[in-house]
Every structure is written in C-alpha cells, then in structure tokens.
A and B are shown apart, each in its own frame.
Chain A
C-alpha cells in the first residue's frame, strides 16, 4: 500500500518558469516530510524538508508547502533551471515511529532551455 503518492510521473517546464511538483499522503500521523532530487546513476540527495508544525519552508529557489488537511505537499522551484532536470522524490516519516521513511514513486522534471 503506497502511503506516499506522486501522481505525475513527469513534468516539463520552460527555463525561468515555475515548476510545481505535487505529493499526496494517506497517513495523518506523518509529521515530517522531505524532498530528494536524483540524477541518473546517482543516489538521491536531500533537497528540503518541512515539519508538520509548519505550512511552508523556503530555501533559495525551493519552497515546500504543506497542507495537512488535504494531506498534500508541493515543491515549488522558481525560477527553474536546466540543471534542475532530475527525478524528485517526496518522503514522509511517522510521528513516534522514528525510523521508517516512506517514499513516493518520483516525478521526472525536465526543464527546457
């Protein structure tokens, strides 16, 4: 049972525009969310995270928004750059169950120059 879902397998965006990657989850006990970026032939690398006590976290061009009532989070990249082309995974962790992380299936972002 996939508790973290990324329903868009792929997304294409023009350079300079905004990229919005979406993630939905089913477990209301998830309290911490992370985004990872993965280039081909490499392992995922941490990008940004958000705790359930916040609804927004910003780091440079990357902003993560969390809507707990909708069990939805999104990653905004502004402005998008060709180097952002990668697969993006969202992940979640359950409060009190500190060790297991649940990952989505990933969204492949292509930023067109």
Chain B
C-alpha cells in the first residue's frame, strides 16, 4: 500500500460527459502528479501540483483540468469526453525525494 488513494476505481461514462477523479496523497506529501496510461502506452504526464499551486504541465488537453485543495487532495476533471480518453489515470505523490508513490489508478471507460 503506497498510502495514495484514488477514487473511483472504475468509471464508465458516455461521450460528451464530464467526470471528476479524486486523489489523496500520502500524509505529508505536498506534490501530486497526474498521469494517463492508454493501451500499450507508457505513463503520460499530465500535470503536477505542489501545495495547491500548479508547478508543471505536460500533455494535458484543454478539456482536462485539475486542482489541489488546501487539504492537499487533488481532483482531475475531464470534460467533453471522447472515446480516446478511455485509459487508466494514475495520481502519484512525492515527498522530499525524487521517488513518486502511485495510487492504484482509476480506469475510465468512455462508451
């Protein structure tokens, strides 16, 4: 158990809809990273927050947004969903070192 929690585990929705994925980092970790893993793809970095502020942005679509709240949990919002958005979404938290601790992921299926 990494100490990072993600909800929900699975999400099935239709094209055009909007969903919110939630992540709680390890106790004390200020950094949260979001990644997308599509079929046969590696982990694509989406965005990182540190103590409530956006710190780095990767290949995140404009239809996607994220935020980190004062209690350090983070939410990833995906809107106007397309079939190609079906993927595993991981969040990871990071403390003072370079190692990231990953949650179990949310599997999103867009029908």
A101 touches B100 (CB 8 A): yes
Chain B residues with Cβ below 8 Å from A42 are 104-105
Please tell me which one of the listed residues A41, A44, A45, A49 contacts residue B43 in the complex, with CB atoms under 8 A apart: A44
A43 touches B2 (CB 8 A): yes
B41 touches A105 (CB 8 A): yes
A45 touches B102 (CB 8 A): yes
Instruction: Contacts A32-B98, A41-B104 given; indicate if A4 touches B56 (C-beta within 8 A).
Output: no
Chain A residues with Cβ below 8 Å from B102 are 36, 43-45
Query: Number of A interface residues, CB 8 Å?
Result: 26
Please tell me which one of the listed residues B40, B41, B50, B90 contacts residue A44 in the complex, with CB atoms under 8 A apart: B90
* CB-CB nearest 5 A-B residue pairs: A43-B102, A99-B56, A105-B42, A103-B43, A103-B42
A contact set with B: CB distance below 8 Å:
2, 4, 6, 9, 32, 34, 36, 41-46, 49, 89, 91, 93, 97, 99-106
B contact set with A: CB distance below 8 Å:
2, 4, 31, 33, 35, 40-45, 48, 50, 55-56, 58, 90, 92, 98-105
